[in-house]
A and B are shown apart, each in its own frame.
Chain A
Amino acid sequence: MAVQSVKFYQVGSRAVGNRLLEEALRTEQASPARRNALNSGHRACQGCGEALGARYVLDAAVRATGGKLLAVNATGCLEVFSTPYPESSWQLPWLHSLFANAPSVASGVAAALKAQGRDDVRVLAQGGDGGTVDIGLACLSGMFERNDDVLYVCYDNEAYMNTGVQRSGSTPPFARTATTEATGPEPGAPIGQGKDLPRIALAHEIPYVATATVAELHDLEAKVERAMTMRGARYLHVLVPCPLGWGSAPADTVRLARLAQRSGLFPVFEASHGEITAVLPIRSRVPVAEYLRPQRRYAHLFAEPPRIDLLERIQAIADRNIGRYGLQEA
């Protein structure tokens, strides 16, 4: 896990940088020399968590690889808002093919590099939750199984946002989407369905699996850096709130990612060869309602009368996560 051993009182380890911190202890995002792999002028919505997460991950990976990095992108918001022909926001070699095949394309790129004897250039594949947990899952599972030398990053905003907020396999229970309306006795997305992709990745027993959020930058960067020290198939799952799809204020993107982690609904951990090796403990836990209330996709839970029963079922999921991963701070 991201280790910050310096005793630093004003902002601890949580801010992006700080004038009082040694440069080495600041994040890459604090550096004026960061790559800005995803440049200004992209057409993501105000406060887009995915745009933020992609820059966080890629800048850290660029630093970790000394700039010798190329990215393969699945179809999705990230691809659409960054490359409306003829413009591109990418400041690294970047390749887009189809919605489903990003893991396979990345495997192919890695194989090509290997055939050329280029072991210095590293491959990163990225996509949203739709391209990852649904449409590209077969390709991704194959990439895991073959242990291809690719870091696959999923930016999870929990629905198909680009096409109009349809449910994905990653949409959480009772969230309203265009295809799971807030009607009936159990409104919103069904409970007990969907896919927990970090756990599916764990089951492949690949060298490295980790989760992170855009709210814990030091933690996120440390994980990218660790992943780039390894070879073989690696998987990083980053929670990226979506103001449009979640019905939240653009300014609340980081705050919501933080509340997701603090409530226990989004467990932050890392694992090696199928075994959990570390978790980010919850500092000052919050009830799930505190995370859900600012999001209009859950507005029906807080109407008159509030759906206490459903909130309790969501709370049970958080409680289970906290028990399963040992998230409670000692």
Chain B
Amino acid sequence: MDRPFAITLDVKSSLANHTGAWRTERPVYVDRWPPCNKNCPADENVQAWLYAAEDGSYETAWRRLVADNPFPAIMGRVCYHPCESACNRAQLDRAVGINSVERFLGDEAIRHGWQLPEPAADTGKRVLVVGAGPSGLSAAYQLRRLGHAVEIRDAAAQPGGMMRYGIPTFRLPRDVLDIEIARLLTLGIELRLNTLVADLRAELAEFAAVFLAVGAQLAHRAYIPAAQSARILDALDLLGQTSGGESPQLGRRVVVYGGGNTAMDAARTARRLGADEALIVYRRTRARMPANDIEVEEAVAEGVRMRWLSTIKNVDGSHLSVERMELDEHGVPQPTGEVEQLDADAVILALGQDVDHSLVDTLPDIDIVDGVIEVDEQMMTGHPGVFAGGDMVPATRSVTVGIGHGKTAARNIDAWLRGTPLPAEPVSAAATFERLNTWYYSDAPHAVRPRLEAARRTSEFTEVVGGLDAETALYEARRCLSCGNCFGCDNCYGVCPDNAVLKIDGAHGYAIDYDYCKGCGLCAVECPCGAIDMQPEAT
């Protein structure tokens, strides 16, 4: 080739110089485990469905959600949202209102009539689910999706379990409950109501596996000396009657004994039934009360009063003797001997619930410890093929936990029926707040859902918490920081001094060009959500 005078080499592009050889560390795209997902008792992939909701793809978001939980509209009303307690955004301004977006998606699905995914091809296996509460319905749904024939039996007249007979209508309107359960049943799940399963051994001859989820419905009794005239009733009875449309007469002054969520619901129900005074008597302190903070706040807002460190000694007509307690050094309440008198037209007992485990009496290899049924990590009892979940087994008692148990049990039942162990899911590392580059996130305060003003809600059973409108739901979804999972902000693509980040089609949308990447780490540091790890190069 003819070259100009004194030129000995052809002009080349610097692309011939592979600067990737300089690298000692390489950036790698990762999916980390966001705290919302980690903390969800139903194991929802919250970050993934919020991601879909962020661009208004609500149906996609809903479909991702129902892969794990068939009841978004119910969840968006009754879940105590531990996801929000764990949300990294709380360290920036306030947690993302995940629960309200979930409800919005659930309500959108009802409005548009979106249907659950079709079940897989029939496996020919039949599974019995005992109990049509959240856990049983969740298990039935997941089992049906996997292609198994499912029959649910429930002793009650209607399905829903505690969602129907324990949660007041002002927290969960029954039309929402009915629609979500009916939608689930259309997958071809057989539901037999008013059917008590008395002898499980007999059923095992007919079914390949059984999932037990009868809940904890026996009101825990405490002995309180009481005269004949005293009006004492169980919180569960009260909630069951009112959810059926009855209005039991409680009188003007009602005392609720207990400090759990049922006590809060009972006190709030009493206010709506006309009680001017609803007083919760609890033997320990607010800090040690098992009720969820949201429920306590709403009860207080509705005029429910609390009396901590107190026990009821006896009830005589409308007179109550209440003894003041003190916490000892172990936090256990001890009597002080100081007794006060209170007046009450009715006393509602909300002292916890026990499990009726008579249906497993014929299966002696099932262990019952502290009144609840022992299960292994696969949710299986001591009897092969018999699984259990929800309030029957040792765990926190909530609708969401029950739904999570149902899903976990269903996957394990499926594996057990196939005779192949469930593959262990790889646990990804946590997406911690420290990994976020928060500079890139705007300050966007939390959208608070509208609430019925307190005065109106103590006289009605209409729903207290309203839903978000579409614009607010979108705003709220977009407050998600997408912790540990790429959300396509182009920062890595932009900040690379070596143009060594490529835009591609695929899971992450980006790839590193290791021919040129010098390993400076700018992409990892400037990634807002911490979705890039720097890994040492093999030497």
Contacts and interface: CB of A to CB of B under 8 A. Distances in A.
B513 A40 contact: yes
Contact of B498 (A40, A88, A254): A40
Given A18-B488, A46-B519, A11 B12 contact: no
A87 interface: yes
A76 to B, nearest CB: 16
Interface stretch (B149-157, B419-427, B438-446): B438-446
A18 B490 contact: yes
Contact of B493 (A17, A82, A251): A17
Interface string B7-38: 00111111111110010000000000000000
A129 B211 CA distance: 74
Contacts of B19: 40-43
B293 interface: no
Interface string A3-16: 00000111111111
A86 B480 CA distance: 49
Interface stretch (B238-246, B294-302, B373-381, B520-528): B520-528
Contacts of B145: none
Q: Name which of A8, A26, A88, A250 has the most chain B CB atoms within 10 A of its CB.
A: A250
Interface stretch (A29-37, A178-186, A199-207): A29-37
A78 to B, nearest CB: 12
A52 interface: yes
Q: Name which of A16, A38, A55 has the most chain B CB atoms within 10 A of its CB.
A: A16
Contacts of A227: none
A258 interface: yes
Given A19-B55, A40-B498, A88 B14 contact: yes
Given A11-B441, A55-B499, A251-B524, A40 B493 contact: no
Contact of B14 (A29, A89, A217, A250): A89
B17 A43 contact: yes
Q: Name the prevailing secondary structure of the A interface residues.
A: loop
B189 interface: no
A138 interface: no
B494 A10 contact: no
B516 interface: yes
A253 B494 CA distance: 13
B182 interface: no
Nearest to A53: B497
Q: Name the prevailing secondary structure of the B interface residues.
A: loop
Interface string A233-248: 0000000000100000
A217 B534 CA distance: 24
Interface in B421-455: 439-442, 444
A40 B478 contact: no
Contact of B497 (A9, A16, A48, A86): A48
Interface residues of A, number: 49
B237 to A, nearest CB: 47
A29 B499 contact: no
B12 to A, nearest CB: 5
A252 interface: yes
B16 A87 contact: yes
Contacts of B144: none
A38 to B, nearest CB: 8
Contacts of A52: 495-497, 522
Contacts of B528: 11, 15
B475 interface: yes
A330 interface: no
B60 interface: no
B440 A40 contact: no
B47 interface: no
Contact of A87 (B12, B444, B525, B526): B12
A15 B13 contact: no
A52 to B, nearest CB: 4
B471 to A, nearest CB: 11
Nearest to A52: B497
A47 interface: yes
A27 B11 contact: no
A252 B437 CA distance: 12
A41 B17 contact: yes
Nearest to A30: B490
Interface string A201-233: 000000000000000010000000000000000
A253 B522 contact: yes
Contact of B9 (A8, A85, A251): A85
A44 interface: yes
Nearest to B14: A41
B520 A47 contact: yes
A255 interface: yes
B518 interface: yes
A249 interface: yes
B493 A30 contact: yes
A10 B18 contact: no
A258 B54 contact: no
B439 to A, nearest CB: 7
Interface string B132-156: 0000000000000000000000000
A10 B14 contact: no
A51 B497 contact: yes
B522 A41 contact: no
B9 A55 contact: no
A87 B490 contact: no
B485 interface: no
Contacts of A193: none
Interface in B67-84: none
A39 interface: yes
Q: Pick the 10 closest A-B CB pairs, nearest first.
A: A17-B490, A16-B494, A251-B521, A12-B442, A41-B14, A47-B520, A19-B488, A29-B494, A46-B520, A250-B520
30 contacts: A8-B478, A9-B444, A9-B475, A9-B479, A10-B480, A11-B441, A16-B489, A16-B491, A19-B488, A19-B489, A27-B490, A36-B499, A39-B13, A41-B16, A44-B497, A46-B22, A47-B522, A48-B497, A48-B520, A49-B497, A52-B522, A85-B9, A87-B12, A87-B17, A88-B13, A243-B520, A250-B518, A251-B522, A253-B522, A258-B439
Given A43-B17, A46-B22, A254-B495, 14 more contacts: A8-B442, A9-B478, A10-B482, A12-B440, A15-B491, A16-B489, A16-B494, A17-B491, A17-B493, A19-B487, A41-B13, A86-B9, A251-B521, A251-B522
